[in-house]
Amino acid sequence: MRLVLASASPRRLELLAQIGVVPDAIRPAGIDETPLRAEDARAYVARVAAEKAAAVAANEPGVVLAADTTVVAGRRILGKPADAAEAEAFLRLLSGRRHHVLTAVTVIARGAARHRLVDTTVRFRQLTAADIAAYVASGDWRGKAGGYGIQGPAGAFVPWMQGSFTAVVGLPLAETATLLAAAGIRAGYNCKEKA
């Protein structure tokens, strides 16, 4: 069974490798990821994952896997920061409080789409101005929802979480493995990697 990953995220590729799954092709979906007016965070992340999968499935045979991750503080959706100033603002907002990381996964196989949404609660410790400045200067916030990557230096900001660590990184492995198995792709059995 041919597997296509509808994502350019190196983190998602690494996570799949952890469960022995290597996609046959990587085809990022070039869709508009702007939240719709009055769209809540759960609906937003589920829609974006489904649209990514559908866009790639329209042109690629086989099983298509797509995911989307967003950070939610209160009712505010924190996507990928546009620049260092926005990353700093996100970190100030998250400092000393709990927030939610939502990751939606869609798998399309034989014309049928299956979906999962994982909600993980993360608490940041109180960050100092020096913490924020050093993290922003590191550049680790680039391309990451909410302006941080829990698997890197920002892991030191997180004294507590409830839910899926791999979902916060970008792909909930337990749920993804279940969706792939339903599509005929079993974790632990590598697909052939193609250039």
Sign of CA dihedral 123, 119, 56, 6: positive
Beta strands in 60-111 (DSSP E): 63-73, 76-78, 98-109
| DSSP class per residue in 161-184 | EES-HHHHHT--HHHHHHHHHHTT
Catalytic residue among 68, 83, 119, 140: 68
Note the helical H segments in 58-164. Answer: 84-94, 129-138
Is 119 designated active site?
no
Catalytic residue set: 68
